[in-house]
Each structure stands twice: as structure tokens, then as C-alpha cells.
Amino acid sequence: MNKLQAVWEKFIHFLAEYDSQKITETFRQLNWDEVLHKPLFWLIFVPVLGYLIWKRRFHTLLLIFSLVLFVALVLNTLPPAGQPIPLNKILTFIGGSVALVAVNLYFFFVRS
């Protein structure tokens, strides 16, 4: 029971420390060129991608790529916290989000 409570406390501490602003700031500070050149990234990414293609889990692949595109959209269009957001950036973010939702709805409901 103590182990379960310790795990729960660690989980609550993680949620308290990493709110959405801190997670976004961490993604902004991450050097993506360096991540893509790490062998560990490819050692994890390629087998997972191969497994999902082999098992024909195309909906899962679509969700993963949609999440990656949404994170890229957030990082490229929205400024860091506390700065004003220009109207063209808001419209770009809304348009990109609507496009992602439309593609996901099409592939999950119309094509299935």
C-alpha cells in the first residue's frame, strides 16, 4: 500500500510541476535536430512504426501523426506565454486545427 501511495504522490508531483505552459516551453527549448540524430530515437521509432504498419493499425498511425502535427502547429503559431497573439497566427492555428479535425473525422467515420 505504501508503494502505491508513493507512486500516486510522484504522479501528483509530476502533474503539479509540469503544467501545460511548462510542457510547451520544454518543447520549445528542445533541439529537434539533435533529437533526430540520436540513435535511441530511431531505435524506438522504427520498430514501433514497423509494428503498426505490419498489424495494419493505420488509425493509430493517423492519431500519432496528427498529434505530432498539432504539437508542431502549436509551437510554430502560438507565441510563448505572456506575449500577445497576432490575428494572423490565431487564424493559422484555427485553420490548421480544423484541417486536422476534418482529416481525422474523415478517416475515422467516413472511410471506416
Question: Which H, E and C letters describe the chain, residue by residue?
Answer: CHHHHHHHHHHHHHHHHCCHHHHHHHHHHCCHHHHHCCHHHHHHHHHHHHHHHHCCCHHHHHHHHHHHHHHHHHHHHCCCCCCCCCHHHHHHHHHHHHHHHHHHHHHHHHCC
What percentage of the chain exceeds 70 in pLDDT? 100
40 and 75, same structural domain?
yes
Domain shared by 71 and 103, yes or no? yes
**Which residue type is seen at 19?**
D
> 84: how many CB neighbours lie within 10 A of its CB?
6
Which one has a higher pLDDT value, 106 or 80? 106
Residues 26 and 69 reside in one and the same domain: no
More confident position, 19 or 41: 41
pLDDT category at 35 given cuts 50, 70, 90 is confident
- pLDDT, mean of residues 107-112: 86
Q: Are residues 2 and 48 in the same domain?
A: no
Structurally, the chain folds into a number of domains equal to 2
CB 81 within 8 A of CB 26: no
Domain range holding 73? 31-110
**Measured between alpha carbons, how far is 40 from 46 in angstroms, rounded to an integer?**
10
Q: Please tell me the predicted confidence (pLDDT) of residue 21.
A: 75
| Same domain, residue pair 61 and 19 | no
Regarding whether 72 and 26 lie in a shared domain, the answer is no
Cα gap 6→9, rounded to integer Å: 5
Res. 87 pLDDT band, cuts 50 70 90: very high
- Confirm if 75 and 27 have CB atoms less than 8 A apart: yes
Reported as a pLDDT band with limits 50, 70 and 90, residue 96 is very high
